[in-house]
Amino acid sequence: MVAANGGLVIETCSRCPKPSVLFQEYSGQHLCGKHLFSSIRRRVAKELRAQLELPKDARHQDGSSYRIFAAISGGKDSAVLLSMLVDIIGKRRDVEIIAGCIDEGIDGYRSPSLELARQLANDLGVQFETLSYEEMGYERMDEVVRRMPIMAKNQDEAKGMMPCSYCGVFRRQGINALAAKVNADVMALGHNLDDMAQSILMNLQKGDIERSVRLAPHTAIPIDGLAPRIVPLRWIPEQEIHAHAVCAGLPIHHGDCPHAAGAMRQLSRGIVANLESITPGARHGLLHSLDQIRVLHRAVHPNNSSEILNCERCGEITSRKVCQACTMKDWLIESA
């Protein structure tokens, strides 16, 4: 805001005299760092209770702790996720939080962010695990991108695929493998409100209600053999997460992945941002709509297990005989 004398006026927090760091357009409130933190923490704690109903003593029969695996990346969202989890339930003696980061093999992007993820876990006193695409039997993502034109020439299904189409499939396998390795009871992901709204919009424009209905959280309808996913940040806008991560001094990587350009999500990001600026609250509206669609869907398909099979090669859960990850692994071998 500009004052009459031409100087900049910093807005004050709507709840205290401190300077505001963020304006919540949809609520009309200005928030300082401390009140932004308490506002986010309250919403995350509420959502965590709704998604993860833990008994008073969540330990297993053998006395081992209930294990939450947090998939982190060195980025702001998963940093806020992990720090909030530790802050909200980290002191419980019956619950253990473990963090893990996938190394996709992207030069200039992954190594600095992986080190920041490790630092965050260390700062919070949380066990930290990593797994790379090479360790999983794929190639580094930089090499996958180099081979994409060859794979597209060899395989019709690979035509028009973007780097994120491969990376998303490999990463999903990777975090499942890490969660299985640490015996996780549940997996926490750092998806924020903008991510959710973008996914809902992308699925709707493809006419894919099923995919939207299958978005996390999964605790109400767990899939056998998979640690159910929870998304405690799903109501928190990206901008608030970013402002909080900066105010709280969390170690986060600010760079973007060099392979992200051209991804469908980038388009959707712009559309959601436009929608929100025209009608503040649009992102919340999209997510509320999904929750209602989910209830209706469950009422119509009470026993819906939507064709869940196990990949005949790797055993992962899939809707086809050979899962997408194993199929892509074949393409990579063929393109070597």
Return d(Cα 290, Cα 273) in angstroms, integer.
Answer: 18
**Residues 297-336 as x/- pattern, contact with Zn ion by CB under 5 A:** --------------x-xx-x------x--x----------
Q: Are 191 and 290 in contact (CB under 8 A)?
A: no
Of 21, 22, 30, 32, the one binding Zn ion by CB under 5 A: 32
Beta strands in the chain (DSSP E): 22-24, 29-31, 66-71, 95-103, 127-132, 186-188, 229-230, 309-310, 317-318
Task: Give me the residues paired with residue 105 across strands.
Answer: none
Q: Are 138 and 111 in contact (CB under 8 A)?
A: no
Burial of 261 (0-12, 13-18, 19+ CB in 10 A): exposed
Question: Does residue 105 belong to the site contacting ligand SF4 (CB under 6 A)?
Answer: no
In this complex, which beta carbon is closest to Zn ion, that of residue 59 or of residue 313?
A: 313
Residue type, 310: N
Q: Could you say which of ligand SF4, Zn ion, none residue 313 binds, taking C-beta under 5 to 8 angstroms by partner kind?
A: Zn ion
Alpha helices in 58-101 (DSSP H): 76-89
Q: Show the tokens assigned to 315.
A: 């055993």
Of 15, 41, 284, 298, the one binding Zn ion by CB under 5 A: 15
Of 167, 213, 252, 311, the one binding ligand SF4 by CB under 6 A: 167
In this complex, which beta carbon is closest to Zn ion, that of residue 11 or of residue 115?
A: 11
Return d(Cα 228, Cα 30) in angstroms, integer.
Answer: 36
Least separation in angstroms between CB 195 and ligand SF4: 12
If you ran DSSP here, which 8-state letter would residue 130 be given?
E
Q: What values do phi and psi take at 70, rounded to 5?
A: -105, 120
Q: Could you say which of ligand SF4, Zn ion, none residue 18 binds, taking C-beta under 5 to 8 angstroms by partner kind?
A: Zn ion
Question: Does residue 74 belong to the site contacting ligand SF4 (CB under 6 A)?
Answer: no
Q: Judged by CB under 6 A, how many residues of this single chain contact ligand SF4?
A: 9
Of 74, 75, 163, 228, the one binding ligand SF4 by CB under 6 A: 163
Question: Does residue 164 belong to the site contacting ligand SF4 (CB under 6 A)?
Answer: yes
Q: What's the CA angle centered on 166, arms 163 and 170, to 5 degrees?
A: 135
Of 18, 92, 172, 297, the one binding Zn ion by CB under 5 A: 18
In this complex, which beta carbon is closest to Zn ion, that of residue 212 or of residue 327?
A: 327
Angle, helices 264-278 vs 193-205, to 10°: value is 110
Least separation in angstroms between CB 14 and Zn ion: 8
Q: Are 167 and 161 in contact (CB under 8 A)?
A: no
Question: Does residue 104 belong to the site contacting ligand SF4 (CB under 6 A)?
Answer: yes
Least separation in angstroms between CB 41 and Zn ion: 14
User: Stretches 46-54, 116-124, 162-170, 213-221: which one binds ligand SF4 (CB under 6 A)?
Assistant: 162-170
Q: Could you say which of Zn ion, ligand SF4, none residue 311 binds, taking C-beta under 5 to 8 angstroms by partner kind?
A: Zn ion
Question: Does residue 168 belong to the site contacting ligand SF4 (CB under 6 A)?
Answer: yes
Question: Sheet harboring 127-132: ordered strands across?
Answer: 127-132, 95-103, 66-71, 186-188, 229-230
Q: Could you say which of ligand SF4, Zn ion, none residue 32 binds, taking C-beta under 5 to 8 angstroms by partner kind?
A: Zn ion
Question: Does residue 16 belong to the site contacting Zn ion (CB under 5 A)?
Answer: yes
Return d(Cα 103, Cα 101) in angstroms, integer.
Answer: 6
C-beta neighbour count of 323 within 10 angstroms: 23
Q: What's the CA angle centered on 256, arms 253 and 260, to 5 degrees?
A: 145
Q: Could you say which of ligand SF4, Zn ion, none residue 259 binds, taking C-beta under 5 to 8 angstroms by partner kind?
A: ligand SF4
Residues 231-260 that bind ligand SF4 (CB under 6 A): 257, 259-260
Question: Does residue 200 belong to the site contacting ligand SF4 (CB under 6 A)?
Answer: no
Q: Could you say which of ligand SF4, Zn ion, none residue 15 binds, taking C-beta under 5 to 8 angstroms by partner kind?
A: Zn ion
Q: Are 43 and 237 in contact (CB under 8 A)?
A: no
Q: What is the CA radius of gyration of the chain?
A: 21
Q: Which residues bind ligand SF4 (CB under 6 A)?
A: 104, 141, 163-164, 167-168, 257, 259-260
